[in-house]
Each structure stands twice: as structure tokens, then as C-alpha cells.
Amino acid sequence: MSDPPDEGPGAGWVLALLLGLAAIVVIGFLGVATVALAFNNDSSTTSSGVDGASSTVPATTIQLDLTEFAIDGNLVAPAGDITLASINKGGIVHNVAVRELGIIGDDVNPGRSDVLELGRLDPGSYTVFCEIPGHETAGMKTTLTVTGDSVGAQPVAAADEEKDWEALDAAMLESMLSFPAETEGVGNPVLEPTEVLDDGTKVFDLTAEIVKWEIEPGNFVDAWTYNGVVPGPQFLLDRGDKIRVRVLNNLPMGTDVHWHGVRTPNDMDGVAPLTQDIIEANGGTFTYEFTVDDDAIGMYHAHSGGQIQVVNGMLGVIRIGENPVPYGETISGVTIPEDLEFVVDMPMVLNDAGTIGFSLNGKSFPATEPVVISEGDWVSVSYFNEGFQVHPMHLHQFPQLVYAKDGIPLQQPYWADTVNVAPGERYTVMFRADDAGTWAWHCHILTHVEREEGMFGMVTAVVVQPNPDFNPDENPVRPSNWRITDDHDPTNHEQSEVDS
């Protein structure tokens, strides 16, 4: 066995040098660690922002859950740097804003999150809300309380407190039993001509103005209105009428009037600055003049600044000509009487944003107006969606015959218990009340009608009074996809034979 090779005379020196350098590094590291430990022992345990050797600024992150329509979280924090970390656990876009600071976070899609840094806050109360129109009114508002105690500040997690279910039940029942509630102001009055000229021209006057409007009992909002009401007054016109509409603008911003769904000359379409000059704020005027040659079920509303003015109340109904009823037609087994007369023929204007918020004809439940009729009565309703969201309008018990879309008669009317109405759309439906009782009528997006404080928003009812002379077996309204014959049981869901 041979000896190991000779590493030469410099090998020992190199090894000694490396060991010495390693020792120096270890000693230096221990010294730094000792200094850091001593510094930490002299400092506060709060997390952030050293302002010199002897002071710290506490930093708090508050977790918020956004849903329809609530902002949940433990919003109590010590004075200092505060951050709001929000997660959208709802089904539509939300955001977070702080009113006193003028800060608005990014819009947050469902399932996404956002971080809003508020900076250093002094003790006090701060309003946290969703800035998207209508969401604050629906319940997305809470208070951030900043205390003067900064000792032991830690990040604050979302609250996970057990709900008071009995209190929720009580609130719901109380809100429902308060229906119908009286409030000041009624929308949709018929607008009568101010004068009729020698040539038959009907002259109307509209004033755009901000008024206090009672949306629900005790809740007065700043409504942007036509003639002081929400919805504005109805135009009920005959085909061939020549009209002149004089508009006075008493708003703090410019406006115009667009005749949505109505044929007009281009310079009367009401789209400033494309078709006219804007109607100046604080006293500006403009006159619209045209002949209504075609039947229409339309809307009139502001176009310039519409995302503010329309949902705040500047909206109304314009109807031209006859109701396009399918007299004598048979739809899904139901024949519409040739001599049908409506006991009620009404508009239902839907809104979900602005100062008016979730509402039917300018009112929020329990201030919405019920439809009171008797057994056997027929009702016609035109839905007008002036809001930002889709609303599936559901009527309990009575199927709705959809017979016109945007004022245009349908060649194939159809029955539905829920009619989906998108922004800008109009659907005209009819139904016959053939069962006595109080029947709910509401948007079926449930957060548009319920909150923890109880029922609100887009809900009303059909109140059907007994009629001893009504025979429910005479021309029954029971739409069916199945052919019903004398020897066919309608409860048997087998399609009957078709006659050859």
C-alpha cells in the first residue's frame, strides 16, 4: 500500500487561512444578531413604520366580505395606518369607498379581491360603502371606528359572529306587515296639455328639478325629477298627434330629453351635442316638436348625464296609440276574449340605482302601491326598465301573457310566470285574477327585495277580492303545452294523440 501523495508545503497555510476567515464571519453574524435583539427588546410590538428610534405607527389590515348587499367585517382599529382588504363573495361587481376621505377602490368582480390603503387615520368614525349606484341604498354601508388606543394593535380579521335569527325573523315579519305604507308623492300622473293650439298642436311643459322625494316611510332623498314626481308624468297620445314639449332646466347641470322607442326627426332625438345643444343648467330651455305617426310604448329620459339623472328619477312613460291586445287569439289553450276590457292598465317602471334605488314606480317596499282588483278582472301591465340591472319580474299564482316587446306586438305571444326585463326594455303583459287573496309580485333577484332589516325594494302585491258572480270554470286561464280533451286527464303528463 503506497503512501498518500505529498500536498506540498503550501497546503497547511491555505487551510489555516480558510478557517480564520470562517471564524471572522461567524463572530460578525453573532454581533449583528445581538444588536438586533437588543433593539427589538426596546421597541413596541405593533407592526410597522418606525418614525425614529423611540416611536412606531401601528398598521392594521381589516378583512371585508362584500355580498349582495352587505359589507361584513370587524371595522374597529387603532389610530394609525389602515388598509381595507376586500373579497367579493357576491354575484355582481362591488367596490369599497370611504366617504370622509374621498377614496374609492377598484371595482371587484365576483371571487376577486382588492386592497385599499387609507393611510394614517386619526381617531373617529368613517363611512365605508359600495360606490356602485344603488348598492349603498340596498345596504352596503357600514362604519369604520378608529380608536385612540394603539397598544397591541394587530391585524383585524373578518367578523364571524352568530346571527340573531329571531331578530331577522322579527324584522322580516314587521316589514311585510307594514305594507302598504303611505308616503308623500305619487309618480306617473297623466300629463295634460298646457294648451292646444289652433292647428291642434298639444303643448306640454316639463320642468327638470331636484326635490325631496319620500322613497319609503321617513326616507327622503334628493330626486332629480320631471315636474317634481318619480316617475315623471305620463304622455298618453293618439297616433297622429302633433306635440310641442317645452323643457325648463332647473338642475345644476345640463340636460336633454331622449324619446326612447319613439320615432322622431333627428334634431328632436334629444342627444346633446349630436342632435341639439345641451339645455343649460339653472334656467336653460329647449322646445321639442314633432308628430307621433307610429304607435309606441316608450320612455322619455335624460341622455346627457344619464347615469346620474335617469336613475336619480328623470324618467317617464310615453304611450302612443292603442294597447296591442291579441283579442280573440288562442295561446297555449287559452282564448283571449274578443270583448276583453282591462280593469287596470298600468306602467311599472323598474329602477335599481341612484338616489331612488331598488324601486317600483319610484317607491320602495312597503311604500309600493298594491293592485286591488276582484276575481275575474283582467290587468295589463307594461314593464319599463330604467335601471342598470336585469330584473326577472315574478307574479305569484297568475300566469302573465307576454304580448308586446318594446311596444311591438308579438306574432307569437307566450305565457310566463317570470318575465326578464333588461335595461331599456319594455314588456307588455296581461293576466286574469282568478283566485282571491293577496299575491306577491316582485323581482326574483332576492337581494333586490330582501335585506337583514326586512323586505324592501322591488316588491308589491296583487290584492284580489272575492267576487260571488265569478265563475272560474268559464274560459279558465290554464295555459298548457298538452292538448286537453274530454277523455284526457290533464294531470297525466303524456302527450295526447294529435288528430290526423
pLDDT (tens digit per residue) in 185-236:
999 999 999 999 999 999 999 999 999 999 999 999 999 999 999 999 999 9
Mean pLDDT, range 433-449, rounded to an integer: 96
pLDDT recorded at residue 366: 98
pLDDT at 475: 85
Contact 384, 187 (CB under 8 A): no
Chain region(s) in the chain for CATH 2.60.40.420: 59-147, 195-465
- Overall average pLDDT of the 5-10 stretch: 45
Q: For residue 138, what pLDDT is reported?
A: 76
Looking at residue 149, what is its pLDDT? 63
- The pLDDT of residue 386 is above 90: yes
DSSP state of 53: S
Q: Counting Cβ atoms within 10 Å, is residue 190 exposed (0-12), middle (13-18) or buried (19+)?
A: exposed
318-344 per-position pLDDT tens digit? 999 999 999 999 999 999 999 999 999
Q: State how far the Cα of 453 lies from the Cα of 172, in Å rounded to an integer.
A: 7
- Mean pLDDT is lowest, of 3-17, 65-79, 269-283, 468-482, for 3-17
Q: Return mean pLDDT, the chain.
A: 86
Instruction: Give the model's pLDDT for residue 155.
Output: 43
**Of 294, 297, 318, 298, residue with least CA distance to 236:** 318
Residue bearing cell 303643448: 203
Query: What integer pLDDT is reported at residue 192 of this predicted model?
Result: 98
Higher-pLDDT residue of 162, 406:
406
Instruction: Say whether 262 sits in a helix, a strand or coil.
Output: coil
Is the pLDDT at 435 greater than 50, yes or no?
yes
Give the pLDDT mean for 100-118.
Answer: 92
Residue carrying C-alpha cell 371587484: 108
3-state class of 268 per DSSP?
helix
Mean pLDDT of 290-312: 96
Q: Give the model confidence (pLDDT) of 133-149 as tens digits.
A: 778 877 899 999 999 86
The bridge status of strand 97-98 relative to strand 103-104 is: antiparallel
Mean pLDDT of 356-378: 97
Q: Is the pTM of this model over 0.75?
A: no
Q: Give the residue-averaged pLDDT of 471-493.
A: 66
- pLDDT, residue 95, reads 95
Number of Cβ within a 10 Å radius of residue 133:
20
pLDDT at 91: 73
Q: Which helix (H) or strand (E) holds 137?
A: helix 135-138
pLDDT at 499: 42
Confidence at residue 333, expressed as pLDDT on a 0 to 100 scale = 92
The amino acid at residue 108 is V
Q: What is the mean pLDDT of residues 353-377?
A: 96
Q: Residue 500: what pLDDT?
A: 39
pLDDT in tens, 179-189: 999 999 999 99
Question: What is the CATH code of the structural domain delimited by 195-465?
Answer: 2.60.40.420
pLDDT at 488 over 70: no
Residue 483 reports pLDDT greater than 70: no
Give per-residue burial for 446-464: e unless 16+ CB within 10 Å, then b.
ebbbbbeebbbbbbbbbbb
Of 105, 137, 181, 162, nearest to 460 (Cα)?
181
For the chain, how long is the longest CA-to-CA vector?
Answer: 134
Comparing 54 with 217, which gets the higher pLDDT?
A: 217
Model pLDDT, residue 250 = 99
Percent of the chain whose predicted confidence (pLDDT) is above 90: 74
Query: What residue type is 370 in one-letter code?
Result: P
What is the side-by-side strand order in the sheet with 258-260?
235-237, 315-320, 296-301, 258-260
Residue 251: is its pLDDT beyond 60? yes
User: Ramachandran region of residue 490, left (φ > 0), alpha (ψ -120 to 50) or beta?
Assistant: alpha
The confidence score (pLDDT) of residue 101 equals 94
Say yes or no to pLDDT of 12 above 70.
no
Residue 117 reports pLDDT greater than 90 = yes
Find out whether 74 and 104 touch, Cβ atoms under 8 Å.
no
Q: What is the pLDDT of residue 93?
A: 85
- CATH number of the 59-147 domain: 2.60.40.420
Segment among 70-74, 134-138, 467-471 with least mean pLDDT: 134-138
